[in-house]
Amino acid sequence: MGIIYHSKSGEFHLFNDEVSYIIIILENGQLGQLYYGERVADRESFGHLLELQARPMAPCTFAGDLAFSMEHIKQEYPSYGHGDMRNPAYEILQKNGSRVSEFVYRGYRIYPGKPVLEGLPATYTEDNCEADTLEIVLQDEVMDTELVLSYTIFKNYAAIARNARFTCQSRNEIILEEAMSASVDLPDRDFEMIELTGAWARERAVKTRRLEHGVQSIYSMRGCSSNNYNPFIALKRPNTDENNGEVYGFSLVYSGNFLAQAEVDTYDVTRVMMGIHPRGFSWTLKEGESFQTPEAVFVYSSKGLNKMSQVYHELYRTRLARGKWRDEVRPILINNWEATYFNFNEDKILTIAEKAKTLGIELFVLDDGWFGKRDDDTSSLGDWYPDLDKLPDGISGIAEKINKLGMKFGLWFEPEMVNKDSDLYRRYPQWLLETPDRQSSHGRNQFVLDFSKSEVVDHIYGMMEKILSEAAVSYVKWDMNRCMTEVYSTGMDAEYQGKVMHRYILGVYDLYDRLTKRFPEVLFESCASGGARFDPGMMYYAPQCWTSDDTDAVERLKIQYGTSMVYPLSSMGAHVSAVPNHQLLRSTPLNTRANVAYFGTFGYELDLNTLTGEEQKEVAEQVAFMKEYRKLIQQGTFYRLVSPFEDNGNVTAWMVVSDDKKEALVGYYRTLQEVNTGYRRLKLRGLDECLSYQVTIKKEITVKDTVTHGGDELMHVGLFVSDASSGENHEKYNGSNGDYQSRLYILKAENM
């Protein structure tokens, strides 16, 4: 790994074993992009890649030179209005009304390690040898404003983290109307764009589309990263699949409004950029003030999508998530939400907890409804003190009783929200985000607190700190159940309003920061109506996130498969819930529900007392199984094998392999029973070709014996996964055929 500056050619070459990224200082002092892709050997100059060619009608920079045109030069952080006709990475409104700018090279710094981004989540290093950072300093003389573009290249990951920082040095203030985190121009358009899209209860479906001329983008303007689009896109070559071919991933470490965009110009150059969505964003900078963008993380893979995802998984699991829980296996929990909704009292909670304890579950999570007078969703958000009618001994009382059973206790909050029927609102009505003289929309009967104001964040911190310090709470589920509308900060001036959306997210990060510092032992799980804020920004504070409100096993295959495009299994909250499922009314076998939920941070979300004795025995066995395998699952290398988004989606398969390749777990899921089908083989990945593996099907009724196969055979020939029955002998195969079936294969290298 290294960053080399070639002073003669004015080129920076960032590289590690996998990837090269080359930047040139152009003749006009701006930054050009020469190459981003598979590692190439360093040389004094790659200037020949500039492709300067005179083109009719092009706006040209230098008198008499028809070749040098910003319209045609591939750039690092382009502006509009000064030759380039494509969408810019930033825009600055100046006092005289002009938006033209020209940041030119002033100098650079290269140093080991990676600095923190003050107030913002970001990847980090633990040791300076893990990464090198390049900062390129640019200046616009007319505006007297500095721009620093930062690039960190990691040693062990084909990943480059980027951000931009603007500092106004002039007495004339400037208004930043757009400031992307990063932009890069790629020399062709032979790509397909992958995005993760959906809606509530069907988050992060994998969508792939061919890049065409013009702009293709995904975005959120909801105030959260959203369950509609995730702040991630990838550009893959058309022939790239999970295991082969070139792909570029772009992920934004941010939890608010974002834009991720690929623009293909009519010369087939592809410009990718991502950052805070410019709509509603307008950031005034006075003399001496800076604006820091969030971080964007680029990952390059020449070995397909699995490799790209594995880089994100490991980087985000070990160098984005932080704290005590980063490297720990996660507790197996029971959450009362789908068991009781708002309708519970202490006795009810304790009967669920007692049963959970006897089955080996480690953590009880008390969800929504424990505070104020909240018997439905119309009241009490903001009143973070216990409802003594439901919990006569308060939170410390119930926590103590759960602890006495031998379980840890966890608690739900929705810190950013308020109901109008609450003491908090009655006391501080001005703390709502609402536009003067306009009607305010509600979402789930609730309103958004103005987290752009520090006094609001301070107040909520005080309430949460009191509960968490008085009661033995080991886990917090931080929910957020509506998007933002009529955004306006009461009492603040017009200029401030363009800052509110971003300042709100900074307020959320600040509260997370204070709470995680004050309670370093507590495990935080983020949540936003399920997965509406499943993003890297949240992972910095909360190492796990509730993946979706949809707990149906079949739907979860798609949701967890799509989520794995970027996010590690250790971050995905996955629970076994009741049947018929509450979102779809579908009934799937208990075994399949667990086989899906194992691939995440495992738990239950139902009243275990309603299960039969047989089912309870099965739950106890599942819990014991997860305890044995959770380290492998949550910290191993994950491979997607068969996609629920391809063919007819009837089969999904994935697997996880230990670092030493001696253990693996394969999940195979077949949604609908088919009749009279052919033999099927599943090619496994990531095994050691030279090892032999004992393959056992977990709890498969018809297969008693463990069979042995070579790692090479399992990967190149495949594992035989045909259904035992296709329309006959249903008694003989009772329990292992029919709809919604699944199998877990446990692989162990022989002579371990």
Geometric angle at alpha carbon 100, from 99 and 102, rounded to 5°: 135
Geometric angle at alpha carbon 636, from 321 and 243, rounded to 5°: 105
3-class SS of residue 632: helix
Give the nearer residue to ligand DGJ in terms of CB position, either 337 or 475.
337
Quote the distance between the C-alpha of residue 300 and its chain's center: 17
The DSSP-derived string for 697-738 is ETT-SS--S-EEEEHHHHHHT-EE---S-SSS-TTTTTTSSS
Q: Which stretch binds ligand DGJ (CB under 6 A): 7-15, 27-35, 72-80, 526-534?
A: 526-534
Beta bridge partners of 132: 112, 153
Give the nearer residue to ligand DGJ in terms of CB position, either 315 or 527.
527
CB count in 10 Å sphere of residue 719: 23
3-class SS of residue 523: strand
Residue nearest to ligand DGJ (CB): 368
The single residue among 219, 337, 475, 540 that binds ligand DGJ, judged by CB under 6 A, is: 337
Q: Does 412 bind ligand DGJ (CB under 6 A)?
A: yes
Give the nearer residue to ligand DGJ in terms of CB position, either 133 or 526.
526
CB count in 10 Å sphere of residue 437: 5
The single residue among 76, 368, 434, 535 that binds ligand DGJ, judged by CB under 6 A, is: 368
Measured CA to CA, the distance from residue 118 to residue 292 in angstroms comes to 8
Q: How far is the CB of 573 from ligand DGJ (least distance, A)?
A: 9
Q: Please name the helix (run of DSSP H) or strand (run of DSSP E) that holds residue 312, with its range, or none.
A: helix 304-319
Q: How far is the CB of 337 from ligand DGJ (least distance, A)?
A: 5
Give the nearer residue to ligand DGJ in terms of CB position, either 329 or 417.
417
CA-closest candidate to residue 146, choices 136, 158, 134, 156: 136
Q: Does 549 bind ligand DGJ (CB under 6 A)?
A: yes
Q: How far is the CB of 377 from ligand DGJ (least distance, A)?
A: 7
Give the nearer residue to ligand DGJ in terms of CB position, either 315 or 339.
339
The single residue among 11, 367, 416, 552 that binds ligand DGJ, judged by CB under 6 A, is: 367
The DSSP-derived string for 336-355 is -HHHHTT---HHHHHHHHHH
Beta bridge partners of 107: 137
CA-CA-CA-CA torsion for 290, 291, 295, 300, nearest 10 degrees? -90
Q: Does 216 bind ligand DGJ (CB under 6 A)?
A: no
Q: How far is the CB of 629 from ligand DGJ (least distance, A)?
A: 25
State how far the alpha carbon of 127 is from the alpha carbons of 112, 160, 311, 739, in Å: 9, 17, 19, 51
Give CB contacts under 8 A, 24+ apart, made by 213-216.
Answer: 213/189, 213/264, 213/265, 213/266, 214/263, 214/264, 215/87, 215/261, 215/262, 215/263, 216/261, 216/262, 216/263, 216/264
Measured CA to CA, the distance from residue 12 to residue 153 in angstroms comes to 12
Site pattern 173..192 for ligand DGJ (x: CB under 6 A): --------------------
Q: Which stretch binds ligand DGJ (CB under 6 A): 7-15, 274-282, 491-499, 527-535?
A: 527-535
Q: Does 530 bind ligand DGJ (CB under 6 A)?
A: yes
Q: Tokens at residue 356, please?
A: 């959970």
- Packing angle of the helix pair 613-635, 590-597 (nearest 10 deg): 20
Q: How far is the CB of 477 from ligand DGJ (least distance, A)?
A: 6
Q: Select which of 132, 140, 450, 479 is catalytic.
A: 479
Give the nearer residue to ligand DGJ in terms of CB position, either 549 or 663.
549
Give the nearer residue to ligand DGJ in terms of CB position, either 90 or 370.
370
- Tell me the backbone φ, ψ of residue 464, rounded to 5 degrees: -70, -40
Give the nearer residue to ligand DGJ in terms of CB position, either 444 or 716.
444
Q: Is 423 noted as a catalytic residue in this protein?
A: no
Q: Is 549 noted as a catalytic residue in this protein?
A: yes
Give the nearer residue to ligand DGJ in terms of CB position, either 374 or 670.
374
Beta bridge partners of 539: none
Pairing mode, strands 475-478 and 408-413: parallel
Q: How far is the CB of 454 from ligand DGJ (least distance, A)?
A: 27
Q: How far is the CB of 263 from ligand DGJ (least distance, A)?
A: 35
Q: Which stretch binds ligand DGJ (CB under 6 A): 53-61, 382-390, 523-531, 683-691?
A: 523-531
Measured CA to CA, the distance from residue 670 to residue 554 in angstroms comes to 9
> Which is it for the CA torsion 610, 615, 620, 622, positive or negative?
negative
Q: How far is the CB of 147 from ligand DGJ (least distance, A)?
A: 40
> Which is it for the CA torsion 125, 129, 135, 136, positive or negative?
negative
Give the nearer residue to ligand DGJ in terms of CB position, either 412 or 524.
412
CA-closest candidate to residue 711, choices 720, 719, 700, 721: 719
Q: Which stretch binds ligand DGJ (CB under 6 A): 40-48, 384-392, 457-465, 522-530?
A: 522-530
Q: How far is the CB of 367 from ligand DGJ (least distance, A)?
A: 5
Q: How far is the CB of 398 from ligand DGJ (least distance, A)?
A: 17
Q: Which stretch binds ligand DGJ (CB under 6 A): 353-361, 524-532, 637-645, 716-724?
A: 524-532
Q: Does 481 bind ligand DGJ (CB under 6 A)?
A: yes
Q: How far is the CB of 91 from ligand DGJ (least distance, A)?
A: 37
Residue labelled with tokens 């892709």: 37
Q: Does 370 bind ligand DGJ (CB under 6 A)?
A: no
The single residue among 248, 546, 561, 625 that binds ligand DGJ, judged by CB under 6 A, is: 546
Geometric angle at alpha carbon 600, from 598 and 603, rounded to 5°: 65
Give the nearer residue to ligand DGJ in terms of CB position, either 419 or 671.
419
Q: Select which of 84, 549, 550, 552 is catalytic.
A: 549
**CB-based contact 399:467 (threshold 8 Å):** no
Measured CA to CA, the distance from residue 634 to residue 525 in angstroms comes to 15
CA-closest candidate to residue 203, choices 685, 711, 555: 555
The alpha carbons of the chain give a radius of gyration, in whole angstroms, of: 27
Q: Does 479 bind ligand DGJ (CB under 6 A)?
A: yes
Q: Does 527 bind ligand DGJ (CB under 6 A)?
A: yes
Q: Does 344 bind ligand DGJ (CB under 6 A)?
A: no
Give the nearer residue to ligand DGJ in terms of CB position, either 194 or 395.
395
Q: How far is the CB of 480 from ligand DGJ (least distance, A)?
A: 9
Count of chain residues binding ligand DGJ (CB under 6 A): 11
What is the identity of the amino acid at 332?
I
CA-closest candidate to residue 528, choices 508, 501, 503: 508
The DSSP-derived string for 652-701 is EEEEEE-TTSSEEEEEEEE-S--SS----EE---S--TT-EEEEEETT-S
Q: Does 550 bind ligand DGJ (CB under 6 A)?
A: no
Q: How far is the CB of 585 from ligand DGJ (least distance, A)?
A: 18
* Strand ordering across the sheet containing 663-670: 637-642, 651-657, 663-670, 741-749, 692-697, 707-710
Give the nearer residue to ligand DGJ in terms of CB position, either 363 or 527.
527
Q: Which residues bind ligand DGJ (CB under 6 A)?
A: 337, 367-368, 412, 479, 481, 527, 529-530, 546, 549
Which residues are known to be catalytic? 479, 549
